[in-house]
Amino acid sequence: MITCNCNGRFERAGFDADGLFETEGSFARLRCSAICSDEYHDASSFVEHVLDCMAQRASRAQDASDGRGSEAQGATRGQRLAGVCNFIEVPEALIPRCPHCGAPLDAAVDDTGALARTSLFQRQQARFRSFLEAYKNERILILELGMGQRNLAIKRPLMAFAEAAPTLSYVVVNREQAILPAISAERTASIEGDLGEALAALCELAGKGSAQSDGAQRLDHADGVRP
């Protein structure tokens, strides 16, 4: 799985972290803003701590303003934070710090190419390249889902691989008109429309009985299906 999403949803959905190549990093990790090392830190514990502290501050402020202490105590953290502020300014004392140099930790995301110099990125990239090399002569499918058609960091290597692999097929599902590799039309397809609807229809087509005809009808109603 190669993705430019930084929200960590693939791991939360059960995908193996060792099978991911995150080209722009992940908000689930923190790294030293001074880049004193390649070390990463789990962001969740820091985020939970900050939100808990801010919720407590919001409760105290609310109690002081209207005296509804019992109401605030029974509220969830989200309810205590809601409406207090549109943007949470994290107090300096709560900013996570690098254990090595003391610089602030920052979200491990980047679209400038700096991440490409980190060991984690290079390991993910190496696994991705090894996977493509191992299966280049197999009948495989590249399924490109909802990705910006100008995202060359992902599309360029995938399309180059497709053009060099004689038995590979390439399918794009996107609201935009697809950019496809220069291979035979029999090995490519594009579905223009809502990703959720298209995937649901494809799942039905892979089923049995009446679900197949239902799925075909739903797929036909997409904005466009092109071979």
Cβ atoms of 144 and 170 closer than 8 Å: yes
pLDDT tens across 107-162, in order? 999 867 778 888 999 999 999 999 989 988 888 899 999 888 888 888 988 999 99
Q: How sure is the predictor about 211, in pLDDT bands with cuts at 50, 70 and 90? A: very low
Nearest 5 degrees, angle CA 103-CA 108-CA 111?
120
Q: HSE (CB half, 13 Å, CA atoms) of 140?
A: 16
For β-strands 2-3 and 21-22, DSSP reports them as parallel
pLDDT at residue number 104: 93
Q: Rounded to a whole number, what is the distance in angstroms from the first to the last CA of the chain?
A: 24
At residue 87, does pLDDT exceed 60?
Answer: no
User: Within its chain, how far is the Cα of 8 from the centroid?
Assistant: 5
Average pLDDT over residues 179-185: 92
At residue 72, does pLDDT exceed 60?
Answer: no
pLDDT at residue number 48: 84
